[in-house]
Structure formats: structure tokens, C-alpha cells
Amino acid sequence: MSDVYEKLINKETKISLIGLGYVGMPVAIAFAKKLEVIGFDIDKQKIEEYKRGKDPTNEVGDQAIKETTVHFTADARRLIDAKFHIVAVPTPITESNIPNLDPLESATKTVGQYLTEGSIVVFESTVYPGVTEEVCIPILEEASGLKAGKDFKVGFSPERINPGDEVNRLETIVKVVSGMDESTLDTIAKVYELVVDAGVYRAESIKVAEAAKVIENAQRDINIAFMNELSLIFNRMNIDTQEVLNAASTKWNFLDFKPGLVGGHCIGVDPYYLTYKSEMVGYHPQIVLAGRRINNKMGRFIVENVIKQLIHAKVNIEHAKIGILGFTFKENIPDTRNTRVIDIIHELEEYGITPVVHDPYADHKEVYEEYGIKLNTYDELTDLNVVILAVAHKEYQSLSESFFEKLYKPGINGNKIMIDVKGQLDRKNALVAGYRYWRL
């Protein structure tokens, strides 16, 4: 398989990216600067946008899409022209928090149907240890009629791209790579070294690489859960959690985590992949699942405090009007997958309140089709009793005090309730300005 690298370099064969989302697209763009790249996605509408030079993910920008040499296609038959395949499709969970491997299995079958002898398939999708060898390889073999290890080789290189992060990019993050044998590992490492300036780390095995990825996000989930639990505790003591964290962070080895909503397709999902496999081998995780339970109830905790603030302000809950700024799962990106802002909305609905929601990044049509939520313009955020700053978008941080004033119902004086989930605003200034201010 070592000749695959030489053929790629000499442009005698191509590399394919299967799945052109927040992870696959940056990878495709990076490789296209060095190699011939086929960018495949089953979403024909997305492919057409890419062909028009539009980046719906906002990860690389329209200009990069216009300038790239990636061959965008929704025709799977084009995959036959590639000898090095990278699968970067989502790995979500079901409503019961069970891993949903359907997208991965479907993509793997598609690759298998057009797999040729001498090819290498690398999976980047986050999975639990064992999926690549126990699930994906049999699918490739059945679909292709070829034999793994003899006719084609397989590896795993977990994605580490952080959507919306302008500093930590594909090129600057060490890439973990693994292969089913030393020769395959060497080829995969050399291919990724073409685009990853930070270098690669050669994992001992595919299972080690799979496990390394899934614990990265589980670790973040647990650390944020600890911050959220502190917020639950300090709120009862009438102590501002972020002031406590500011004080504690003056110690050199204090970890810089903040309380907040934990959603998205990684941190809020990957721990369930780890716990699923753990229970398969007979161990019921304690800390990992405890972290999930805490993080999953933060939407309810926020709304409980909204209601308390309304009661203190003597506002009739039934007639309260609430505006939510931000709907995506994190700041400055259009991705709404597994956004936990929806928890706030559903909890408010339990009290008979339908909030007015705004987001400068989210796709209005997509949000309505997926969640049944109508996103509103700034002009529609009027006569509010409560403003919930749910997502720390840069645009919201630049809004003036006079702008916020216009959102509230006239004449409510000191009863303007501001729920600042991520602590975007200066707490003291907000209190001086007359807000009933609360944050995690």
C-alpha cells in the first residue's frame, strides 16, 4: 500500500472525502492544496452550494470554496477514481442516548461499492472502540467483495476540528493516526503530514485511536459538569459562580472551564458512545454518566431562575414575554445540531410561555424544519420582560446598552430581567443599569 502515497503525490490517483460538513470540508480544502480531491456528499443541495462558491458551514469561507480545486459531487460513482478514502460523517445518538451508526454504516457501504484493490480507507467519525474493525470492515468487505488486509487497508484518524475556532485549525492540531498494520500506519501518517503542520501522533492501534478521541470530549463534558454543579450550589448560597471562578483561576494550575449549556455533535454526544461500549463489557460508568445528567438539566435550571425573577418582579408569568438571543449549539457558527437552547424553549413552554428567538447565524428554514421554531428579526424582539442571552455570539457582545433598552417593555423600571447564560456582560454594569441580572 506504500505506493498509494506516491500515486497521490504524483496525482496518478485521488483522495476522496465522504461527508462535507464542519469536519470534512476543511479537510478536503486542505488536501486540495496538495492533491487531487473528490468531495462527496449525499446532500445534493449542499453540493450545489459548494459549486456556487458558498460555504453553508462558515468553516472555511466562501472565498476558499471558490478557489479550491476540490471536485464536488453527489455522484458516488466518482469514488472509484480514488485510492485513499476519508470518511467524515456524523455519528449521532438516538433519543434514548444510544449510538446511531446509521450514517456511518451507510457511508461505509457506499465506499465499499466503489472500493478498488490497493485502496486505503480512513475513518474520522467519532465512535466507540471497536467500531472500525468490528462494524466498518465487514461492511466494506461485503459491499466490495474484497478482503481487508489483503486487497485493501483500513485506518482511523479522529477528527479534532473545533467548529468556529479560528486559532485551532486542522493544520495546527496534532493529528492522531492509526492503521491496521505498520505499513498502512506509515502511509496514513505521511498523507496527513502533507497538511497538518503540527505533525501526527502514531497511535498503537485503531482501538487506541478510537478511545483517545471519545475520551477527549468526555473529559470536557465532565469538567463543564463540575462547573455547572458549582453553579447549582452557589446559586443556593447567593454567590456569583463566575466571581468565584475568577478568584480561583489566579492559581496557576486551576483549570479554565466555565458553566454553560453543553450541546452540539461532540461533547454532548461522545460520552454516550463511551458509556455504551463500557456497559457492553460489563462496567456501568459512574462519573461520565453523572456529568451527562448534570449537563442535561441546565436548561431547566435556567428557566427555574427565569421564573423566580419574574415572580420577584411581580410579572404575571402567563403574560410574560421572553426573548432569547442565540439558538446555535455554540457561538459564531450556524450549527444547530443538538443545541441545548431548545431545552430552555421547551421548559418555558411548560409554563405556557412561547419565547421570541433570534440568531444571526442559524438558517431560518433549517431551524423551523428541524425544531419547529420560527427565528425572528431584531425588530420582532419588542415589549419583552426577559432577555435571555443564550449564546455568546460576537454580534451580541457588540450590542449597546441603548439597543438592549429598546427590547424591553416601556415603563418597567427596575424590572428588566437579563439572564446572561454565558456571562457575556459586565455584571456590575448591568446591575447599575437597573437590570435584574442573573447568570450561571
Of the candidates 86, 224, 266, 425, the residue annotated as catalytic is 266
Mean pLDDT of successive 10-residue segments in the chain (440 residues)? 86 96 91 96 93 87 92 96 96 92 97 97 96 98 96 95 73 94 96 95 97 94 96 96 95 94 88 94 95 96 96 90 95 91 96 95 93 93 94 90 87 82 90 89
Say which residues have a Cβ less than 8 Å from residue 61's Cβ, sequence separation at least 6: 55
Q: Please give the grid coordinates belonging to residue 83.
A: 485510492
End-to-end CA distance of the chain: give it in Å, rounded. 53
Q: What pLDDT does 399 receive?
A: 85
Q: Determine whether 17 is exposed, middle or buried from the number of CB atoms within 10 Å of its CB (0-12, 13-18, 19+).
A: buried
Q: Distance between CA 165 and CA 414 in Å, rounded? A: 38
CA distances from 245 to 33, 249, 258, 403, 422 (A): 43, 6, 8, 29, 13
Whether 136 is catalytic: no
* Amino acid, res. 371: Y
* Amino acid, res. 421: V
Q: Distance between CA 18 and CA 24 in Å, rounded? A: 7
Q: What pLDDT does 299 receive?
A: 96
Q: Distance between CA 106 and CA 104 in Å, rounded? A: 5
Cα Rg, the chain, nearest whole Å? 24
* Amino acid, res. 333: I
Dihedral sign for Cα 207, 209, 210, 212, please. positive
Q: What pLDDT does 10 receive?
A: 94
CA 114-120-122 angle, 5° bins: 100
Q: Distance between CA 330 and CA 340 in Å, rounded? A: 9
Q: Report the candidate in 423, 196, 257, 416 with the shortest Cα–Cα distance to residue 321.
A: 416
Q: Distance between CA 180 and CA 263 in Å, rounded? A: 33
68-83: buried (b, 16+ CB within 10 Å) or exposed (e) per residue? bebbbbbebebbeebb
Complete domains list, the chain, with CATH: 3-203 (3.40.50.720), 226-439 (3.40.50.720)
**Prediction pTM value:** 0.92
3-state secondary structure the chain: CCHHHHHHHCCCCEEEEECCCCCHHHHHHHHHCCCCEEEECCCHHHHHHHHCCCCCCCCCCHHHHHHCCCEEECCHHHHHHEEEEEECCCCCECCCCCECCHHHHHHHHHHHHCCCCCEEEEECCCCCCCHHHHHHHHHHHHHHCCCECCCEEEEECCCCCCCCCCCCCHHHCCEEEEECCHHHHHHHHHHHHCCCCCCEEECCCHHHHHHHHHHHHHHHHHHHHHHHHHHHHHHHCCCCHHHHHHHHCCCCCCCCCCCCCCCCCCCCCHHHHHHHHHHHCCCCCCHHHHHHHHHHCHHHHHHHHHHHHHHHCCCCHHHCCEEEECCCCCCCCCCCCCCCHHHHHHHHHHCCCCCEEECCCCCHHHHHHHHCCCECCHHHCCCECEEEECCCCHHHHCCCHHHHHHHECCCCHHHEEEEECCCCCCHHHHHHCCEEEEEC
Q: What pLDDT does 397 receive?
A: 87
Asked if 259 and 224 touch (Cβ cutoff 8 Å), the reply is yes
Q: Please give the grid coordinates belonging to residue 288.
A: 461520565
